[in-house]
Chains A and B, each alone.
Chain A
Protein backbone atom coordinates (compact mmCIF):
# COMPACT_ATOMS: atom_id res chain seq x y z
CA UNK A 1 0.00 0.00 0.00
CA UNK A 2 2.77 2.39 0.93
CA UNK A 3 4.53 1.57 -2.26
CA UNK A 4 1.37 2.20 -4.20
CA UNK A 5 0.73 5.58 -2.54
CA UNK A 6 4.30 6.58 -3.05
CA UNK A 7 4.19 5.65 -6.72
CA UNK A 8 0.88 7.45 -7.09
CA UNK A 9 2.19 10.65 -5.55
CA UNK A 10 5.34 10.57 -7.60
CA UNK A 11 3.25 9.77 -10.66
CA UNK A 12 1.14 12.84 -10.00
CA UNK A 13 4.23 14.98 -9.62
CA UNK A 14 5.51 13.72 -12.95
CA UNK A 15 2.03 14.06 -14.40
CA UNK A 16 1.70 17.76 -13.58
CA UNK A 17 4.99 18.35 -15.35
CA UNK A 18 3.62 16.58 -18.41
CA UNK A 19 0.44 18.58 -18.05
CA UNK A 20 2.35 21.84 -18.20
CA UNK A 21 4.05 20.78 -21.39
CA UNK A 22 0.84 19.39 -22.88
CA UNK A 23 -1.06 22.59 -22.10
CA UNK A 24 1.38 24.63 -24.14
CA UNK A 25 1.07 22.10 -26.86
CA UNK A 26 -2.72 22.35 -26.92
CA UNK A 27 -2.75 26.13 -26.80
CA UNK A 28 -0.42 26.26 -29.77
CA UNK A 29 -2.50 23.77 -31.68
CA UNK A 30 -5.72 25.59 -30.93
CA UNK A 31 -4.45 28.97 -31.99
CA UNK A 32 -2.33 28.10 -35.00
CA UNK A 33 -3.21 24.52 -35.90
CA UNK A 34 0.43 23.68 -35.59
CA UNK A 35 1.35 20.41 -33.92
CA UNK A 36 4.58 21.40 -32.21
CA UNK A 37 7.00 18.52 -32.41
CA UNK A 38 9.70 20.81 -31.07
CA UNK A 39 8.40 20.91 -27.55
CA UNK A 40 11.08 18.57 -26.32
CA UNK A 41 13.88 20.79 -27.59
CA UNK A 42 12.05 23.89 -26.39
CA UNK A 43 12.09 22.42 -22.91
CA UNK A 44 15.74 21.51 -23.24
CA UNK A 45 16.57 25.05 -24.35
CA UNK A 46 14.86 26.26 -21.19
CA UNK A 47 16.72 23.88 -18.91
CA UNK A 48 20.05 24.51 -20.62
CA UNK A 49 19.63 28.30 -20.45
CA UNK A 50 18.87 28.08 -16.76
CA UNK A 51 21.99 25.99 -16.13
CA UNK A 52 24.20 28.42 -18.02
CA UNK A 53 22.66 31.56 -16.57
CA UNK A 54 22.55 30.47 -12.94
CA UNK A 55 26.27 31.11 -12.55
CA UNK A 56 26.19 34.78 -13.47
CA UNK A 57 22.64 35.49 -12.31
CA UNK A 58 22.10 33.12 -9.43
CA UNK A 59 19.41 30.44 -9.40
CA UNK A 60 16.37 32.73 -9.38
CA UNK A 61 17.73 35.17 -11.93
CA UNK A 62 18.84 32.29 -14.11
CA UNK A 63 15.46 30.59 -13.85
CA UNK A 64 13.60 33.76 -14.83
CA UNK A 65 15.97 34.51 -17.68
CA UNK A 66 15.85 30.93 -18.95
CA UNK A 67 12.08 30.90 -18.89
CA UNK A 68 11.98 34.24 -20.71
CA UNK A 69 14.44 33.02 -23.34
CA UNK A 70 12.32 29.96 -24.03
CA UNK A 71 9.19 32.07 -24.38
CA UNK A 72 10.99 34.37 -26.79
CA UNK A 73 12.28 31.40 -28.77
CA UNK A 74 8.68 30.20 -29.17
CA UNK A 75 7.71 33.67 -30.30
CA UNK A 76 10.50 33.76 -32.86
CA UNK A 77 9.61 30.38 -34.29
CA UNK A 78 6.05 31.57 -34.74
CA UNK A 79 6.86 35.00 -36.15
CA UNK A 80 9.87 34.17 -38.29
CA UNK A 81 8.92 30.75 -39.61
CA UNK A 82 5.32 29.77 -39.13
CA UNK A 83 3.75 33.18 -39.79
CA UNK A 84 5.28 33.12 -43.26
CA UNK A 85 3.69 29.77 -43.94
CA UNK A 86 0.10 30.58 -42.94
CA UNK A 87 -2.27 28.65 -45.10
CA UNK A 88 0.24 25.90 -45.77
CA UNK A 89 -0.99 22.37 -45.10
CA UNK A 90 -1.05 21.47 -41.42
CA UNK A 91 1.38 18.65 -42.17
CA UNK A 92 4.00 21.01 -43.61
CA UNK A 93 3.83 23.15 -40.51
CA UNK A 94 4.26 20.12 -38.26
CA UNK A 95 7.23 18.96 -40.30
CA UNK A 96 8.75 22.39 -40.05
CA UNK A 97 8.67 22.07 -36.27
CA UNK A 98 10.39 18.68 -36.57
CA UNK A 99 13.12 20.40 -38.57
CA UNK A 100 13.57 23.07 -35.94
CA UNK A 101 13.60 20.37 -33.28
CA UNK A 102 16.42 18.49 -34.98
CA UNK A 103 18.49 21.65 -35.38
CA UNK A 104 18.01 22.64 -31.75
CA UNK A 105 18.68 19.17 -30.35
CA UNK A 106 21.82 18.77 -32.42
CA UNK A 107 23.18 22.09 -31.29
CA UNK A 108 22.25 21.52 -27.66
CA UNK A 109 23.80 18.06 -27.71
CA UNK A 110 27.02 19.64 -28.91
CA UNK A 111 26.86 22.37 -26.27
CA UNK A 112 26.08 20.02 -23.43
CA UNK A 113 28.70 17.50 -24.50
CA UNK A 114 29.14 14.33 -22.50
CA UNK A 115 28.55 16.08 -19.17
CA UNK A 116 25.48 16.09 -17.04
CA UNK A 117 24.83 19.71 -16.14
CA UNK A 118 23.03 20.39 -12.92
CA UNK A 119 20.69 23.14 -11.96
CA UNK A 120 21.47 24.13 -8.38
CA UNK A 121 17.94 24.09 -7.09
CA UNK A 122 17.94 25.77 -3.67
CA UNK A 123 15.76 22.90 -2.47
CA UNK A 124 18.41 20.43 -3.59
CA UNK A 125 17.75 16.71 -3.36
CA UNK A 126 15.87 16.73 -0.08
CA UNK A 127 13.17 14.18 0.43
CA UNK A 128 9.94 15.00 2.21
CA UNK A 129 8.06 12.36 4.15
CA UNK A 130 4.32 12.37 4.41
CA UNK A 131 3.82 9.54 6.84
CA UNK A 132 5.54 6.65 5.20
CA UNK A 133 5.27 8.11 1.71
CA UNK A 134 8.30 9.91 0.36
CA UNK A 135 8.64 12.52 -2.38
CA UNK A 136 11.53 14.76 -3.28
CA UNK A 137 11.17 18.42 -2.42
CA UNK A 138 11.70 19.17 -6.09
CA UNK A 139 8.73 17.11 -7.15
CA UNK A 140 6.55 18.36 -4.30
CA UNK A 141 7.31 21.90 -5.36
CA UNK A 142 6.55 20.94 -8.94
CA UNK A 143 3.05 19.98 -7.87
CA UNK A 144 2.51 23.28 -6.08
CA UNK A 145 3.92 25.46 -8.85
CA UNK A 146 2.13 23.54 -11.58
CA UNK A 147 -1.15 23.77 -9.69
CA UNK A 148 -0.77 27.53 -9.41
CA UNK A 149 0.23 27.94 -13.06
CA UNK A 150 -2.51 25.65 -14.32
CA UNK A 151 -5.12 27.46 -12.23
CA UNK A 152 -3.86 30.81 -13.51
CA UNK A 153 -3.90 29.49 -17.02
CA UNK A 154 -7.46 28.25 -16.82
CA UNK A 155 -8.63 31.48 -15.22
CA UNK A 156 -7.00 33.50 -18.01
CA UNK A 157 -8.37 31.16 -20.61
CA UNK A 158 -11.88 31.61 -19.27
CA UNK A 159 -11.97 35.21 -18.17
CA UNK A 160 -9.30 37.31 -19.87
CA UNK A 161 -9.56 39.04 -23.23
CA UNK A 162 -6.74 36.82 -24.36
CA UNK A 163 -8.72 33.73 -23.44
CA UNK A 164 -11.83 34.92 -25.24
CA UNK A 165 -9.79 35.87 -28.30
CA UNK A 166 -8.03 32.52 -28.24
CA UNK A 167 -11.21 30.51 -27.96
CA UNK A 168 -12.96 32.57 -30.61
CA UNK A 169 -10.02 32.27 -33.01
CA UNK A 170 -9.75 28.54 -32.36
CA UNK A 171 -13.38 27.99 -33.23
CA UNK A 172 -13.60 30.21 -36.31
CA UNK A 173 -10.53 32.15 -37.35
CA UNK A 174 -12.20 34.15 -40.07
CA UNK A 175 -15.10 35.19 -37.89
CA UNK A 176 -12.60 36.20 -35.20
CA UNK A 177 -10.64 38.25 -37.73
CA UNK A 178 -13.85 39.99 -38.72
CA UNK A 179 -14.24 41.07 -35.09
CA UNK A 180 -10.87 42.76 -35.22
CA UNK A 181 -9.06 39.97 -33.38
CA UNK A 182 -5.48 39.76 -34.67
CA UNK A 183 -4.90 36.09 -35.38
CA UNK A 184 -1.15 36.61 -35.62
CA UNK A 185 -1.08 38.02 -32.12
CA UNK A 186 -3.18 35.20 -30.75
CA UNK A 187 -0.82 32.59 -32.11
CA UNK A 188 2.31 34.52 -31.13
CA UNK A 189 1.08 34.71 -27.57
CA UNK A 190 0.24 31.01 -27.61
CA UNK A 191 3.83 30.24 -28.56
CA UNK A 192 5.12 32.42 -25.74
CA UNK A 193 2.84 30.60 -23.31
CA UNK A 194 3.93 27.25 -24.76
CA UNK A 195 7.60 28.17 -24.37
CA UNK A 196 7.21 29.47 -20.84
CA UNK A 197 5.28 26.43 -19.67
CA UNK A 198 7.83 24.11 -21.25
CA UNK A 199 10.70 25.91 -19.52
CA UNK A 200 8.99 25.77 -16.13
CA UNK A 201 8.37 22.07 -16.71
CA UNK A 202 12.04 21.72 -17.63
CA UNK A 203 13.14 23.44 -14.46
CA UNK A 204 11.50 20.69 -12.41
CA UNK A 205 12.03 17.82 -14.81
CA UNK A 206 15.81 18.05 -14.53
CA UNK A 207 15.71 18.15 -10.72
CA UNK A 208 15.79 15.29 -8.25
CA UNK A 209 15.05 12.40 -8.65
CA UNK A 210 15.89 12.80 -12.35
CA UNK A 211 19.57 13.36 -13.13
CA UNK A 212 20.37 16.85 -14.53
CA UNK A 213 20.33 18.34 -17.97
CA UNK A 214 21.13 15.85 -20.71
CA UNK A 215 19.87 15.68 -24.28
CA UNK A 216 17.74 12.72 -23.21
CA UNK A 217 15.50 15.12 -21.30
CA UNK A 218 13.99 16.21 -24.62
CA UNK A 219 12.76 12.67 -25.22
CA UNK A 220 11.23 12.53 -21.76
CA UNK A 221 9.44 15.78 -22.47
CA UNK A 222 7.98 14.34 -25.62
CA UNK A 223 5.90 12.02 -23.47
CA UNK A 224 3.66 15.00 -22.99
CA UNK A 225 2.74 14.51 -26.62
CA UNK A 226 0.71 11.36 -26.01
CA UNK A 227 -0.71 13.16 -22.98
CA UNK A 228 -2.03 15.96 -25.18
CA UNK A 229 -3.32 13.57 -27.81
CA UNK A 230 -5.14 11.29 -25.48
CA UNK A 231 -6.76 14.27 -23.79
CA UNK A 232 -7.90 15.52 -27.17
CA UNK A 233 -5.44 17.75 -28.95
CA UNK A 234 -7.74 20.76 -28.80
CA UNK A 235 -8.82 20.41 -25.19
CA UNK A 236 -7.05 22.25 -22.39
CA UNK A 237 -8.83 20.17 -19.78
CA UNK A 238 -7.77 17.10 -21.70
CA UNK A 239 -4.13 18.16 -21.52
CA UNK A 240 -4.36 18.34 -17.76
CA UNK A 241 -6.06 14.98 -17.37
CA UNK A 242 -3.90 13.37 -20.04
CA UNK A 243 -0.71 14.56 -18.36
CA UNK A 244 -1.75 13.19 -14.99
CA UNK A 245 -2.86 9.89 -16.50
CA UNK A 246 0.42 9.41 -18.33
CA UNK A 247 2.49 10.44 -15.31
CA UNK A 248 0.72 8.05 -12.97
CA UNK A 249 0.71 5.18 -15.47
CA UNK A 250 4.41 5.63 -16.09
CA UNK A 251 5.22 5.80 -12.41
CA UNK A 252 3.21 2.67 -11.60
CA UNK A 253 4.64 0.70 -14.50
CA UNK A 254 8.16 1.62 -13.50
CA UNK A 255 7.55 0.95 -9.82
CA UNK A 256 5.99 -2.42 -10.39
CA UNK A 257 8.31 -3.45 -13.16
CA UNK A 258 9.39 -6.56 -11.32
CA UNK A 259 5.83 -7.78 -11.36
CA UNK A 260 5.51 -6.61 -14.95
CA UNK A 261 8.77 -8.18 -16.02
CA UNK A 262 6.98 -10.27 -18.64
CA UNK A 263 6.43 -7.01 -20.53
CA UNK A 264 10.13 -6.40 -20.67
CA UNK A 265 12.51 -4.08 -18.87
CA UNK A 266 12.00 -0.37 -19.31
CA UNK A 267 8.32 -0.83 -19.93
CA UNK A 268 7.72 2.39 -17.98
CA UNK A 269 8.98 4.57 -20.76
CA UNK A 270 6.67 3.11 -23.39
CA UNK A 271 3.64 3.20 -21.13
CA UNK A 272 2.65 6.72 -22.21
CA UNK A 273 2.31 5.51 -25.78
CA UNK A 274 0.50 2.34 -24.80
CA UNK A 275 -2.01 4.36 -22.77
CA UNK A 276 -2.45 6.77 -25.67
CA UNK A 277 -3.13 4.00 -28.13
CA UNK A 278 -5.58 2.35 -25.77
CA UNK A 279 -7.51 5.59 -25.32
CA UNK A 280 -7.51 6.41 -29.01
CA UNK A 281 -8.85 2.99 -29.89
CA UNK A 282 -11.89 3.72 -27.79
CA UNK A 283 -12.16 7.44 -28.47
CA UNK A 284 -10.44 8.44 -31.69
CA UNK A 285 -10.55 12.16 -30.95
CA UNK A 286 -9.23 11.76 -27.43
CA UNK A 287 -10.96 11.97 -24.08
CA UNK A 288 -12.23 15.52 -24.47
CA UNK A 289 -11.30 16.36 -28.04
CA UNK A 290 -13.89 17.77 -30.37
CA UNK A 291 -12.28 17.34 -33.71
CA UNK A 292 -10.06 15.10 -35.71
CA UNK A 293 -6.38 15.75 -35.71
CA UNK A 294 -6.33 16.87 -39.30
CA UNK A 295 -8.83 19.58 -39.91
CA UNK A 296 -9.37 21.08 -43.29
Chain B
Protein backbone atom coordinates (compact mmCIF):
# COMPACT_ATOMS: atom_id res chain seq x y z
CA UNK B 1 0.00 0.00 0.00
CA UNK B 2 2.59 2.58 1.15
CA UNK B 3 6.15 2.04 0.11
CA UNK B 4 9.09 4.25 1.05
CA UNK B 5 12.44 3.53 -0.56
CA UNK B 6 15.85 4.99 0.22
CA UNK B 7 14.27 8.24 1.38
CA UNK B 8 16.59 11.18 1.94
CA UNK B 9 15.10 14.41 3.30
CA UNK B 10 16.77 17.66 4.31
CA UNK B 11 15.39 20.80 5.91
CA UNK B 12 16.59 24.16 4.67
CA UNK B 13 19.15 22.39 2.53
CA UNK B 14 21.34 21.50 5.49
CA UNK B 15 19.60 19.53 8.23
CA UNK B 16 19.54 15.88 7.17
CA UNK B 17 16.47 14.36 8.77
CA UNK B 18 16.08 11.13 6.78
CA UNK B 19 19.09 9.27 5.46
CA UNK B 20 17.91 6.40 3.37
CA UNK B 21 14.81 5.28 5.21
CA UNK B 22 12.92 2.25 3.90
CA UNK B 23 9.45 1.29 4.99
CA UNK B 24 6.50 -0.71 3.80
CA UNK B 25 2.90 -0.69 4.99
CA UNK B 26 0.81 -3.54 3.63
CA UNK B 27 -2.93 -3.26 2.91
CA UNK B 28 -5.13 -3.05 5.98
CA UNK B 29 -2.22 -3.28 8.31
CA UNK B 30 -1.16 -1.42 11.42
CA UNK B 31 2.51 -0.55 11.14
CA UNK B 32 4.41 1.35 13.76
CA UNK B 33 7.54 3.47 13.60
CA UNK B 34 9.47 3.77 16.83
CA UNK B 35 12.35 6.08 17.47
CA UNK B 36 13.55 8.66 19.91
CA UNK B 37 13.38 12.43 19.56
CA UNK B 38 14.77 13.68 16.33
CA UNK B 39 14.95 10.25 14.73
CA UNK B 40 12.94 11.52 11.79
CA UNK B 41 9.55 10.00 12.51
CA UNK B 42 7.57 13.16 11.90
CA UNK B 43 9.65 13.90 8.84
CA UNK B 44 8.69 10.54 7.40
CA UNK B 45 5.01 11.37 7.86
CA UNK B 46 5.47 14.85 6.37
CA UNK B 47 7.12 13.34 3.33
CA UNK B 48 4.08 11.10 2.94
CA UNK B 49 1.47 13.80 3.47
CA UNK B 50 3.19 16.34 1.23
CA UNK B 51 3.73 18.91 3.96
CA UNK B 52 7.54 19.03 3.95
CA UNK B 53 7.39 22.21 1.93
CA UNK B 54 5.63 24.01 4.78
CA UNK B 55 8.81 23.38 6.78
CA UNK B 56 11.28 24.22 4.07
CA UNK B 57 12.09 20.57 3.79
CA UNK B 58 12.49 18.54 0.62
CA UNK B 59 12.98 15.03 -0.62
CA UNK B 60 16.50 14.83 -2.02
CA UNK B 61 16.27 11.31 -3.31
CA UNK B 62 14.33 8.12 -2.84
CA UNK B 63 10.77 7.25 -3.73
CA UNK B 64 7.48 7.18 -1.95
CA UNK B 65 4.51 5.47 -3.54
CA UNK B 66 0.95 4.71 -2.53
CA UNK B 67 -0.69 1.82 -4.34
CA UNK B 68 1.92 2.30 -7.02
CA UNK B 69 1.37 6.06 -7.46
CA UNK B 70 4.29 8.36 -6.82
CA UNK B 71 3.54 10.82 -4.01
CA UNK B 72 6.52 13.10 -4.53
CA UNK B 73 5.42 16.41 -6.00
CA UNK B 74 1.79 15.97 -5.01
CA UNK B 75 0.29 18.63 -2.79
CA UNK B 76 -1.32 17.81 0.58
CA UNK B 77 -4.85 18.16 -0.79
CA UNK B 78 -4.18 15.68 -3.59
CA UNK B 79 -2.71 13.24 -1.12
CA UNK B 80 -5.75 13.53 1.13
CA UNK B 81 -7.83 12.91 -1.98
CA UNK B 82 -5.89 9.71 -2.62
CA UNK B 83 -6.81 8.46 0.83
CA UNK B 84 -3.88 9.33 3.09
CA UNK B 85 -4.54 11.53 6.09
CA UNK B 86 -2.03 12.59 8.71
CA UNK B 87 -3.06 13.40 12.27
CA UNK B 88 -0.31 15.76 13.40
CA UNK B 89 1.86 15.52 16.48
CA UNK B 90 0.51 17.51 19.41
CA UNK B 91 -3.12 17.14 18.16
CA UNK B 92 -3.34 20.60 16.61
CA UNK B 93 -7.12 20.67 16.69
CA UNK B 94 -8.78 23.97 15.83
CA UNK B 95 -9.38 25.24 19.34
CA UNK B 96 -11.62 28.14 18.36
CA UNK B 97 -13.91 25.91 16.35
CA UNK B 98 -16.55 23.64 17.80
CA UNK B 99 -16.26 19.86 17.68
CA UNK B 100 -18.71 19.79 14.81
CA UNK B 101 -16.75 22.43 12.89
CA UNK B 102 -13.49 20.60 13.48
CA UNK B 103 -15.01 17.48 11.96
CA UNK B 104 -16.41 19.52 9.12
CA UNK B 105 -12.96 20.94 8.47
CA UNK B 106 -11.66 17.38 8.42
CA UNK B 107 -14.09 16.58 5.63
CA UNK B 108 -13.32 19.57 3.44
CA UNK B 109 -10.84 17.55 1.43
CA UNK B 110 -13.67 15.57 -0.14
CA UNK B 111 -16.85 16.57 -1.96
CA UNK B 112 -18.78 13.39 -1.34
CA UNK B 113 -21.54 14.46 1.05
CA UNK B 114 -22.88 10.98 1.69
CA UNK B 115 -19.42 9.69 2.52
CA UNK B 116 -18.91 12.58 4.90
CA UNK B 117 -22.18 11.90 6.68
CA UNK B 118 -21.15 8.26 7.10
CA UNK B 119 -17.74 9.29 8.33
CA UNK B 120 -19.28 11.64 10.85
CA UNK B 121 -21.50 8.87 12.23
CA UNK B 122 -18.47 6.61 12.43
CA UNK B 123 -16.54 9.23 14.40
CA UNK B 124 -19.38 9.86 16.83
CA UNK B 125 -19.84 6.10 17.33
CA UNK B 126 -16.15 5.73 17.98
CA UNK B 127 -16.03 8.70 20.34
CA UNK B 128 -19.35 9.19 22.13
CA UNK B 129 -17.69 11.94 24.23
CA UNK B 130 -17.55 14.06 21.10
CA UNK B 131 -21.14 13.37 20.17
CA UNK B 132 -22.31 14.63 23.52
CA UNK B 133 -20.51 17.93 23.15
CA UNK B 134 -20.59 18.60 19.45
CA UNK B 135 -21.26 22.30 19.74
CA UNK B 136 -18.65 23.01 22.42
CA UNK B 137 -15.47 24.80 21.54
CA UNK B 138 -12.73 22.25 21.06
CA UNK B 139 -10.23 24.31 23.04
CA UNK B 140 -12.13 23.52 26.23
CA UNK B 141 -11.48 19.78 25.94
CA UNK B 142 -9.01 17.71 27.93
CA UNK B 143 -5.85 16.39 26.29
CA UNK B 144 -7.32 12.93 25.79
CA UNK B 145 -10.53 14.31 24.30
CA UNK B 146 -8.56 16.57 22.02
CA UNK B 147 -6.56 13.61 20.77
CA UNK B 148 -9.80 11.78 20.04
CA UNK B 149 -11.07 14.81 18.18
CA UNK B 150 -7.84 14.98 16.23
CA UNK B 151 -8.19 11.35 15.21
CA UNK B 152 -11.88 11.82 14.46
CA UNK B 153 -11.13 14.83 12.32
CA UNK B 154 -8.59 12.75 10.42
CA UNK B 155 -11.19 10.05 9.78
CA UNK B 156 -13.62 12.53 8.18
CA UNK B 157 -11.90 12.28 4.82
CA UNK B 158 -12.38 8.49 4.85
CA UNK B 159 -8.70 7.66 4.61
CA UNK B 160 -7.46 4.30 3.40
CA UNK B 161 -4.29 4.97 5.36
CA UNK B 162 -4.29 6.97 8.57
CA UNK B 163 -0.97 8.41 9.73
CA UNK B 164 -0.86 9.00 13.49
CA UNK B 165 1.99 11.03 14.96
CA UNK B 166 2.53 10.22 18.64
CA UNK B 167 -1.11 10.08 19.68
CA UNK B 168 -0.05 9.06 23.19
CA UNK B 169 1.96 12.22 23.72
CA UNK B 170 1.25 13.74 27.11
CA UNK B 171 -1.59 11.39 27.99
CA UNK B 172 -2.07 9.38 31.17
CA UNK B 173 -1.58 5.59 30.96
CA UNK B 174 -5.29 4.87 31.04
CA UNK B 175 -5.93 7.24 28.16
CA UNK B 176 -3.05 5.70 26.22
CA UNK B 177 -4.73 2.34 26.62
CA UNK B 178 -7.92 3.84 25.26
CA UNK B 179 -6.07 5.26 22.25
CA UNK B 180 -4.64 1.79 21.62
CA UNK B 181 -8.18 0.35 21.56
CA UNK B 182 -9.32 3.06 19.20
CA UNK B 183 -6.50 2.26 16.79
CA UNK B 184 -7.47 -1.41 16.85
CA UNK B 185 -11.08 -0.50 16.15
CA UNK B 186 -10.19 1.82 13.27
CA UNK B 187 -8.07 -0.95 11.83
CA UNK B 188 -10.87 -3.49 12.27
CA UNK B 189 -13.16 -1.18 10.27
CA UNK B 190 -10.77 -1.50 7.37
CA UNK B 191 -8.41 1.46 7.60
CA UNK B 192 -4.67 0.86 7.51
CA UNK B 193 -2.70 2.77 10.14
CA UNK B 194 0.87 3.99 10.27
CA UNK B 195 1.51 4.76 13.91
CA UNK B 196 4.50 6.82 14.97
CA UNK B 197 5.20 6.39 18.64
CA UNK B 198 7.65 6.79 21.43
CA UNK B 199 5.42 4.66 23.60
CA UNK B 200 6.64 1.32 22.36
CA UNK B 201 4.52 -0.71 24.74
CA UNK B 202 1.25 0.50 23.31
CA UNK B 203 2.52 0.67 19.74
CA UNK B 204 3.93 -2.85 19.65
CA UNK B 205 0.75 -4.17 21.20
CA UNK B 206 -1.50 -2.82 18.44
CA UNK B 207 0.83 -3.08 15.43
CA UNK B 208 1.37 -5.95 13.02
CA UNK B 209 4.75 -4.72 11.83
CA UNK B 210 7.24 -2.42 13.41
CA UNK B 211 10.14 -0.30 12.27
CA UNK B 212 12.77 1.30 14.43
CA UNK B 213 14.03 4.59 13.07
CA UNK B 214 17.46 5.67 14.17
CA UNK B 215 18.98 8.95 12.97
CA UNK B 216 17.00 8.93 9.77
CA UNK B 217 17.43 5.29 8.90
CA UNK B 218 15.48 2.15 9.73
CA UNK B 219 17.75 0.08 11.94
CA UNK B 220 15.35 -2.74 12.80
CA UNK B 221 12.14 -4.01 11.36
CA UNK B 222 9.89 -7.02 11.46
CA UNK B 223 6.66 -8.35 12.93
CA UNK B 224 5.79 -6.31 16.01
CA UNK B 225 5.72 -9.29 18.33
CA UNK B 226 9.15 -10.43 17.21
CA UNK B 227 10.61 -6.98 17.50
CA UNK B 228 9.21 -6.60 20.98
CA UNK B 229 11.22 -9.64 21.99
CA UNK B 230 14.56 -8.44 20.65
CA UNK B 231 17.19 -7.22 23.05
CA UNK B 232 17.66 -3.87 21.39
CA UNK B 233 13.99 -2.93 21.53
CA UNK B 234 13.64 -4.26 25.05
CA UNK B 235 16.56 -2.18 26.14
CA UNK B 236 15.90 0.98 24.17
CA UNK B 237 12.15 1.26 23.88
CA UNK B 238 10.50 -0.97 26.40
CA UNK B 239 12.39 0.59 29.22
CA UNK B 240 14.55 -2.28 30.35
CA UNK B 241 17.48 -0.17 31.28
CA UNK B 242 16.84 2.85 29.09
CA UNK B 243 14.39 5.62 28.56
CA UNK B 244 13.84 8.74 26.57
CA UNK B 245 12.55 12.07 27.49
CA UNK B 246 10.47 14.05 25.10
CA UNK B 247 11.31 17.64 24.36
CA UNK B 248 7.72 18.34 25.24
CA UNK B 249 8.42 17.33 28.80
CA UNK B 250 8.45 13.91 30.34
CA UNK B 251 6.25 11.51 28.46
CA UNK B 252 4.43 8.91 30.41
CA UNK B 253 5.27 5.82 28.48
CA UNK B 254 2.56 3.81 30.06
CA UNK B 255 5.18 1.25 30.92
CA UNK B 256 6.67 3.37 33.62
CA UNK B 257 4.56 1.89 36.34
CA UNK B 258 6.16 -1.48 35.86
CA UNK B 259 9.60 -0.21 35.03
CA UNK B 260 10.94 2.05 37.71
CA UNK B 261 14.12 4.12 37.45
CA UNK B 262 15.77 4.21 34.09
CA UNK B 263 18.75 5.95 32.69
CA UNK B 264 18.55 8.47 29.92
CA UNK B 265 19.34 7.19 26.52
CA UNK B 266 21.16 9.52 24.23
CA UNK B 267 20.77 9.30 20.52
CA UNK B 268 22.54 11.85 18.43
CA UNK B 269 19.61 14.19 18.04
CA UNK B 270 21.27 17.05 16.23
CA UNK B 271 22.33 15.04 13.30
CA UNK B 272 23.17 17.83 10.90
Inter-chain contacts of B102 with A (CB < 8 A): 168
Would you call B199 an interface residue if the criterion is a C-beta within 8 Å of the partner chain's C-beta atoms? no
Question: Chain B nearest CB: distance from A22 CB in Å?
Answer: 20
Stretch at the interface among A145-153, A177-185, A212-220: A177-185
Inter-chain contacts of A171 with B (CB < 8 A): 94-97
Q: Which one of A161, A167, A174 contacts B92 once the chains associate, using CB atoms below 8 Å?
A: A174
Indicate whether A164 sits within 8 Å of B51 (C-beta atoms), given known contacts A177-B77, A180-B157: no
The CA of A161 and the CA of B116, in the complex, are separated in Å by: 13
Considering the complex, give the chain A residue whose CB is closest to the CB of B107.
A179
Residues 155-172 of A, flagged 1 when their CB comes within 8 A of B and 0 if not, give 000000100110110011
The CA of A177 and the CA of B92, in the complex, are separated in Å by: 12
Q: Which one of B77, B96, B157 contacts A167 once the chains associate, using CB atoms below 8 Å?
A: B96
Question: Chain B nearest CB: distance from A88 CB in Å?
Answer: 12
Considering the complex, give the chain B residue whose CB is closest to the CB of A175.
B92
B88 touches A175 (CB 8 A): yes
Q: Which one of B93, B95, B109 contacts A180 once the chains associate, using CB atoms below 8 Å?
A: B109
Q: Which one of A175, A180, A182 contacts B94 once the chains associate, using CB atoms below 8 Å?
A: A175
Considering the complex, give the chain B residue whose CB is closest to the CB of A87.
B56
Stretch at the interface among B13-21, B79-87, B212-220, B237-245: B79-87
Indicate whether A178 sits within 8 Å of B105 (C-beta atoms), given known contacts A167-B94, A172-B94, A173-B54: no
Question: Total interface residues on A, using CB and 8 Å?
Answer: 18
The CA of A175 and the CA of B94, in the complex, are separated in Å by: 8
B76 touches A180 (CB 8 A): yes
Inter-chain contacts of A177 with B (CB < 8 A): 51, 54, 76-77
Indicate whether A167 sits within 8 Å of B54 (C-beta atoms), given known contacts A181-B77, A181-B108, A181-B109: no
Question: Chain B nearest CB: distance from A281 CB in Å?
Answer: 26
The CA of A177 and the CA of B81, in the complex, are separated in Å by: 12
Q: Which one of B51, B56, B110 contacts A178 once the chains associate, using CB atoms below 8 Å?
A: B51
Inter-chain contacts of A161 with B (CB < 8 A): 104, 108
Would you call A176 an interface residue if the criterion is a C-beta within 8 Å of the partner chain's C-beta atoms? yes
Best-buried of A87, A164, A171, A182 by chain B (most CB within 10 Å): A164
Inter-chain contacts of B51 with A (CB < 8 A): 174, 177-178
The CA of A140 and the CA of B259, in the complex, are separated in Å by: 75
Chain A residues numbered 17-35 whose CB sits less than 8 Å from any CB in chain B? none
Would you call B58 an interface residue if the criterion is a C-beta within 8 Å of the partner chain's C-beta atoms? no
Best-buried of A167, A174, A176 by chain B (most CB within 10 Å): A174
Q: Which size bracket describes the interface of B in this complex?
A: 20 to 34
Inter-chain contacts of A87 with B (CB < 8 A): 56
The CA of A174 and the CA of B46, in the complex, are separated in Å by: 11
B54 touches A180 (CB 8 A): no
A178 touches B108 (CB 8 A): no
Residues 96-117 of B, flagged 1 when their CB comes within 8 A of A and 0 if not, give 1100011011111110000000
The CA of A168 and the CA of B93, in the complex, are separated in Å by: 9
Best-buried of A173, A180, A182 by chain B (most CB within 10 Å): A180
Indicate whether A179 sits within 8 Å of B153 (C-beta atoms), given known contacts A87-B56, A164-B105, A165-B108: yes
Residues 90-124 of A, flagged 1 when their CB comes within 8 A of B and 0 if not, give 00000000000000000000000000000000000
Question: Chain B nearest CB: distance from A296 CB in Å?
Answer: 14
Jot down 30 A-B pairs with beta carbons below 8 A, ordered by A: A87-B56, A161-B104, A164-B97, A164-B104, A167-B101, A168-B101, A168-B102, A168-B105, A171-B96, A171-B97, A172-B92, A174-B54, A175-B92, A175-B94, A178-B49, A178-B51, A178-B76, A178-B86, A178-B87, A178-B88, A178-B154, A179-B80, A179-B105, A179-B106, A179-B107, A179-B109, A179-B156, A180-B80, A181-B77, A181-B108
Closest 10 CB pairs of A and B: A180-B109, A180-B80, A175-B92, A168-B105, A177-B76, A180-B77, A171-B94, A182-B77, A168-B94, A178-B86
Q: A178-B51, A179-B80 are in contact. List 18 more A-B contacts (CB 8 A).
A: A161-B108, A164-B101, A165-B108, A167-B94, A168-B108, A171-B95, A174-B92, A175-B88, A177-B51, A177-B54, A177-B76, A177-B77, A179-B85, A179-B109, A180-B85, A181-B77, A181-B108, A181-B109
**Which A residues fall within an 8 A CB radius of B?**
87, 161, 164-165, 167-168, 171-182
**Which B residues fall within an 8 A CB radius of A?**
49, 51, 54, 56, 75-77, 80-81, 85-88, 92-97, 101-102, 104-110, 153-154, 156-157
